[in-house]
Amino acid sequence: MERGIVWLFVAAGAVMGLTLALPGVRAAIGIATGDGGFSLLTDAEVEHSAAAGGAGIASARYESAWVVATGLSTGARTLLVLGASFGALTVLITVGAVVLFFLLLLWRRPFHRALVLATQVAGCALLVGGILSAGLSGLGRMMAADELNPAAGEVFVVGTSFDLVWALVGLGVLALSLVFSRGIRLQRDTEGLV
């Protein structure tokens, strides 16, 4: 029964990894071929009219716009593709470490040196890959907004926003690798006692 549940976790981890990485891969391919879209920040006002006797809008603005653009510079397109690719690669590396953990549980070796290395690689991938993905795609979005503003009536904000929570998660995974390292040492020290 226990082995079946762990196999279920392995399969679920693999499926979730592919599910989470597929949008990034699809976005990178779409942007590279010119068919894919990306979001740009905007500060355009939402058109509204006064409502007679009911709920009305006092003020409304758009925050972002989904854009499928043609004729972008090679630099902007390359940065957008690299940002999406680093995001997908980060997801695949992290999910690979989780699947390895489940496989080690299945093989009854939860504290193995390979797990320490895998968590260190996953932590670094989350820390560095998340920042690279956000930075490269953000720079690409700013370049794209600057290039598209003349055609769109200057509605796009030449700026970007990104969440640094993945860097914090990466630090947490790196700290977890220290816990696994201590677990290996304890397992080795208590091997003959039981």
Residue range 57-89, pLDDT digits in tens: 777 888 888 888 888 899 999 999 999 999 999
Residue 34 covered by a domain: yes
Per the structure block, which two tokens stand in for 44?
């355009």
User: Model confidence over 159-172: pLDDT tens digits?
Assistant: 888 888 888 899 99
User: Model confidence over 133-192: pLDDT tens digits?
Assistant: 999 999 999 999 999 989 888 889 898 888 888 888 999 999 988 988 888 888 777 777
What per-residue confidence (pLDDT) applies to 114?
Answer: 84
Residue 151 covered by a domain: yes
Give the residue numbers spanning the domain of 35.
Answer: 2-46+76-189
CB of 122 closer than 8 Å to CB of 96: yes
Residue 136 covered by a domain: yes
Average pLDDT, integer, range 80-104? 90
Number of structural domains the chain divides into: 1
Residue 53 covered by a domain: no
The torsion region of residue 153 among left (phi > 0), alpha (psi -120 to 50) and beta comes to left
Rounded distance between C-alpha atoms, residue 159 and residue 138, angstroms:
8
Residue 52 covered by a domain: no
Q: Helices 113-124 and 74-106: crossing angle, nearest 10°?
A: 160
Residue 12 covered by a domain: yes
The torsion region of residue 53 among left (phi > 0), alpha (psi -120 to 50) and beta comes to left
